[in-house]
Amino acid sequence: MTPGQPAPWTPQTPYGASPEAAGPTLDGTGREGLPYHLLLRGGWSGAWWRGLLGILALAIGMLLVLPFLMLVPFLLYYALSGAEVGESVTGLVDLTDPSPAGLAYLNLTLAGLIPLTWVIVRWLHGLRPRWLSSIRPRLRWGYLFACFGLSFVALIATLVVAALLPSDAAGASVAGELNEFTPRLRDFMLVVLLLTPLQAAAEEYAFRGYLLQAFGGMVRSPWVAVGLSSLLFALAHGAQDAPIFFDRFAFGVVAGVLVVVTGGLEAGIAMHVLNNWLAFGIALAYGDMSSALNPTGGTWWSIPVTLTQSLVYLALAWWVARVMGLRKRSDPAVLPAPEGRV
């Protein structure tokens, strides 16, 4: 049997049974399934060099290909509507003074990372794209919705900690009067509500999905893979103050650990969506979108607040995954661990 080719079906423990009860060898052959970070080793041979090519393809696609492709429909719209194309495009990509259309363009460009990672996994590694979602292999919707609820519980713990910190460090972002509701604010709200989940999920598919698996295929250690993918996640946000960089790196580490201990992206997606909704929501209510997209003047006082949210959420999501009996390895009857390579 070649790597990535499904084995003949044999009776097995139903999905949802606890991993402790099922054990790693579910098909009676003595074979083990693969943990999430090593799934690419179940595809075509040469996971390490294919991973390098995949990382390069992902970078080129994110920085060059996707921004150009997503610009095309906006160009057509501006041309057909009679707007001045050059001026409109300049305003579209200006993140120092973003418009609702500019935020939509940014979110849609990042959302393109989902199909891009699917193409890379399918054509470079010989695996179906669904292996990026989880070891199931697909999104485990019940767990995803449960994690949205858990993220609100973690948010409450965050508010408690924030209330104990100096007000100028923890509460400045919600100080002052509410912004006036205008058509521009309404448009921003619609973009945040509808497109932010796609943007957040896409970043999880790229950084906690493909990159974590690619590094896992090279170095085998889940913690090295989590650390490297988290570092790239923080760097991808551009120039930033040290506290902001650390905050994003820590977020990446927590989301990466959740992938390793739960076997899928669901927990990271839920946490990422809530974080971005909260950040953009506060900016729209009390500040402006430019400050949310280009944060400056970070303070180390914010770290206890965000770490409280992340660590409480990590503990809750891990515990619920165990209660739900989520597996952390692929079914060996579908994607077994290659002999001698794991």
pLDDT tens for 41-80 read: 999 998 899 999 999 999 999 999 999 999 999 999 999 9
Residue 39 has pLDDT above 80, yes or no: yes
Half-sphere exposure of 307 (CA within 13 A, CB side): 11
Mean pLDDT value across residues 166-177: 56
Residue with tokens 């500040």: 287
Instruction: Work out the mean pLDDT of the chain and round it to a whole number.
Output: 86
Q: What is the pLDDT of residue 28?
A: 52
Residue 142 has pLDDT above 50, yes or no: yes
- ∠ CA 37-67-267, nearest 5°, is 30
Residue 172 has pLDDT above 60, yes or no: no
What CA–CA distance (Å, rounded) separates 334 from 318? 25
Residue 86 has pLDDT above 60, yes or no: yes
Q: What is the pLDDT of residue 75?
A: 93
Q: Give the pTM.
A: 0.87
Mean pLDDT value across residues 238-259: 91
| Lowest-pLDDT choice from 4-8, 135-139, 290-294 | 4-8
What CA–CA distance (Å, rounded) separates 258 from 316? 10
C-beta separation of 336 from 193 below 8 A:
no
Q: What is the pLDDT of residue 294?
A: 80
Mean pLDDT value across residues 229-243: 90
Q: What is the pLDDT of residue 290?
A: 85
- How many CB atoms lie under 10 A from the CB of residue 323? 10
Residue 13 has pLDDT above 60, yes or no: no
C-beta separation of 135 from 39 below 8 A:
yes
pLDDT tens for 298-336 read: 778 778 888 888 899 999 999 999 999 999 999 988 888
**Which among 191, 319, 211 has a CA at the least distance from the CA of 265?**
211
- The radius of gyration of the chain's CA atoms, rounded to the nearest angstrom, is 21
DSSP annotation of 335 reads: S
Residue 32 has pLDDT above 50, yes or no: yes
Residue 167 has pLDDT above 90, yes or no: no
Q: Which sign, positive or negative, has the C-alpha torsion 213, 216, 221, 227?
A: negative
* Residue that wins the pLDDT comparison between 261 and 9: 261
Q: What is the pLDDT of residue 333?
A: 85
Token digits of residue 171: 């509460």
DSSP annotation of 155 reads: H
